[in-house]
A and B are shown apart, each in its own frame.
Chain A
Amino acid sequence: MTASPRTAAPNGRATLRSIWRQTGFAPALLVILVILNIIINPARFAPGNWGTLIGLAAPLIGAAMASTPAILGGRGGIDISVGPLMGFVNAMVVLVLIKTLGITSPVIIVPAAIATGMLVGAINGLLAAILRIQPIVATLGVYLILVGATLTILPAPTGTVPAWFKGLAGAYSILPLGAVVLAWWGIRRLPYYDHLMAVGSDDRAAYTAGVPVTAVRFISYVITGAFAGVAGLMLTALIGSADPAIGPTYTLIAISAVALGGISLAGGRGGLLGAAIGAADIFLLQSVLTYFNVSTFVLQIGYGTVLILAIVLTAVQERLLDRGKGGAP
């Protein structure tokens, strides 16, 4: 690709270029995978099924979006407790609120789930941002605590959810995802967003410029927690019961989705949209591989290969765009 003068490029191309830079190969892969899925499996991907399909993909997309704010904060910022937190919210909602207390109203359940997420997020933020424990270790500690707590209150799968809740994984599956996107859209309009990106790109420069780095990072973990709370609701809607084993499995796959979506794990670059697209890619890829009826083992190899290939391609493309700029891996 030859570099064209930026001023000469039409506006549309500049926008396209900025999306390309932000999300890498993920959108192109998304288009290819959607078309492939529609061709090989038209019944499953018929418009009437979209609600259910989105409901199936929602927990992974939610987990990936939730993982993003903490990563954007930079200096090793990451929250590996997102998966277990989703499982914990699932257990709290189904076991404590619905089964034990008999509460079925969304007016209580939804805020309670988000509040639980924000509380755990605040603990993560306290440990990682204020006490300055390396984030992967701090959130690993919280990961272990959440898994232990969930298994203690919920040794085996149990419980049911009211009808409105199941609808969140069916006809209305777009609602929780839409709520997260809307919330992030609001955050992007606040000065806080600029602070977060500045801290993620170069925290020392941001600190010298008077940005409250610690507070910005703390809040990023609280936002991650709140979104993880919503993702926990999506998970609950999908499985329709409480299950202690499912939540933790989302952690690493969500981080893969984040990386696939062009978000730099070093912080300061990328956004929620990229994470969502990356997660949708992984979901659709699994869907294609499952259709071919290959064993789960091949599915695993295929998933790992595509992840590495996509990230390698993104890195190569970035190098072509940023030729000459240095930086640590």
Chain B
Amino acid sequence: MFRFSPDQTRVAGAIVVAIGLHLTGMALIEGYGSAFGLRAMLVLASLLAIASIGQTLVVIIGGIDLSIPFLIGFANVVAAQLFGDGMNFMLVCLIIGGLAGLIGALNGAISSGLRIHPLIVTLGMGTIVQGAVLLWTAGFPSGSAPAAVSEFVSIGGEAMGLPVPWLVPCFIVLAALITLMLARTPYGRRLFALGSNPGAAPLALINPVLMWTATFALSAFFAAMAGVLLLGFTGSAYGEVGQPYLFQTIAAVVIGGTALIGGRGSYLGTVAGAVVLTELNTLLIGLGLQPPMVQAALGVIIIGLVSLYGRDPPLRTLI
């Protein structure tokens, strides 16, 4: 008989909540389940899930990355600016991906090499990146997204005859690859090993500094990817575009059952968490709540969900 492990229960919980929210929306709001609404939610959830890839990896290793919103803003503004200056878009993406990877690598190397809490390092680094971008553009980013990227994420787009933009099938492939990487590669096994026991992992010849550097570099890279995709979504550059993603990536990771203490979690859970957050937002706005009330309700619901299935074990069981 197949039995769920506690981690699988958490992921299943998030999926059940997402489905429940969708059914509630269909019952309460007319047009909630319409094709357009569904497509919009798929695109928004995909963008959030891509921005949360890095947060998932970083949290599994036992860290946290607060530089994600700043890197999203960085990629968003720099991509528009360079493309607007007439640079080849592939080259633009290479430059942004490389720079983001370097910034992330620095985050991981400093946090791990000097044993400084990554919360502070990523926050400081994010502040520097944002300041540098603002300085470069003098606060007024210009330029635009290439039509191909806009098409790629457009809610009205079509892919392989399906009524969804290419973003959605590509994201599904990406999610499968990330899941495979976590489950089947040496990198994935080392990630979980280091997260669950940072003291013992080096004895198994896992280099913690190398792992942290690589993982934070990946996190920054995927944040930059989300930033470029958001540029296609909104059409013009905006340095603050990543700000809502600061807490949303953490919320998606936690709702998906990944523990912030490290060593546990899955990307499938994060995807479910991203869907839950997107459904919630759409549902609450659809019910006619004002934005401040939506925010407050999100707070209540995040606490409610996590207290249902995301609680830490009692201390007495850890002795």
Contacts and interface: CB of A to CB of B under 8 A. Distances in A.
A255 B119 contact: yes
Interface string A116-154: 000000000001000111101110111111111111100
A329 B117 contact: yes
Contact of B312 (A132, A149, A328): A132
Contact of B296 (A136, A152, A207, A308): A152
Interface residues of A, number: 59
B120 A132 contact: no
A203 B314 CA distance: 11
Tell me the interface secondary structure of chain B in the complex: helix
A246 to B, nearest CB: 16
Contacts of A207: 315-316, 319
Contacts, number: 177
Contacts of A138: 303, 306
Contact of B114 (A150, A301, A307, A316): A316
B127 interface: yes
Q: Which of B110, B139, B292, B313 has the largest number of chain A CB atoms within 10 A?
A: B292
A159 interface: no
A38 B102 CA distance: 39
Interface residues of B, number: 60
Q: Which of B114, B294, B311, B316 has the largest number of chain A CB atoms within 10 A?
A: B114
B319 A204 contact: yes
A327 B134 CA distance: 38
A137 to B, nearest CB: 5
Contact of B299 (A76, A148, A150, A155): A148
Nearest to A142: B299
Contact of B121 (A297, A303, A311): A311
A12 to B, nearest CB: 30
A255 B121 CA distance: 11
A329 B250 contact: no
A301 B124 CA distance: 9
Contact of B292 (A147, A208, A252, A302): A147
B163 interface: no
A308 B125 CA distance: 7
B120 A311 contact: yes
Interface in B8-44: none
A141 B120 contact: no
A137 B251 contact: yes
Q: Which of A137, A152, A315 has the largest number of chain B CB atoms within 10 A?
A: A137
5 contacts: A134-B254, A145-B299, A150-B292, A296-B134, A301-B128
Given A143-B247, A296-B134, A307-B123, 15 more contacts: A131-B311, A133-B310, A140-B250, A140-B299, A140-B302, A144-B295, A145-B295, A145-B300, A148-B294, A148-B297, A152-B293, A303-B127, A304-B125, A308-B128, A326-B199
